[in-house]
Structure 1
């Protein structure tokens, strides 16, 4: 049985030193910043940029489908993106 989106989010949170969440929630700005740091995504370091910018930076660092522009994709990560992100964090 494949992991759920919540399971993947919590695996990613654990991998970057953040706390697991019992309820289903998207990543906080702080969690996204920790993920950016873990995958060496370029973000502004003197203040936290908007979530959309951090998600785009993370998407640029993980494998997306060919022809997908990370800056044009809006909203939370899809399950396939979470699977790629979790796999990349496992390999580090």
Structure 2
């Protein structure tokens, strides 16, 4: 059975020590900061930076194409991106 976007987000949340959510929501700034640390993104997370900077850092860290595209940084991760993040976290 294929995983939904919600399943992938929750899998990623749990992999970085965050809690699972029942409702469908994008990552909070705190969850993105935890993901940055888990994938060793080159983003200073104290204080927590804007979501767009953390998303770009995560994309860059796991080798996604167009990681620094500002249009991509301003929107939540898509399913294929979530699958790549989940795979990177599984590989650690």
TM-score, scaled relative to structure 1: 0.91
Listed as ranges, the gaps of 5+ residues in structure 1 are none
Task: Find the residue that maps to 1:44 and give its secondary structure.
Answer: coil
Contact 1:12-1:85 within 8 A present in 2 as well: yes
Partner of 1:42: 42
1:41-90 superposed Cα distances (whole Å, 9 cap, x missing partner): 0122430000011001001012324xx24342130001000000000100
Contact 2:42-2:61 within 8 A present in 1 as well: no
Alignment: residue pair count: 90
Partner of 1:31: 31
Which structure shows the bigger proportion of residues in helix conformation? 2
Partner of 2:58: 58
TM-score, scaled relative to structure 2: 0.91
The answer to whether 1:70 aligns with 2:68 is yes
Listed as ranges, the gaps of 5+ residues in structure 2 are none
Structure 1 outlier segments of 4+, above 3 Å: none
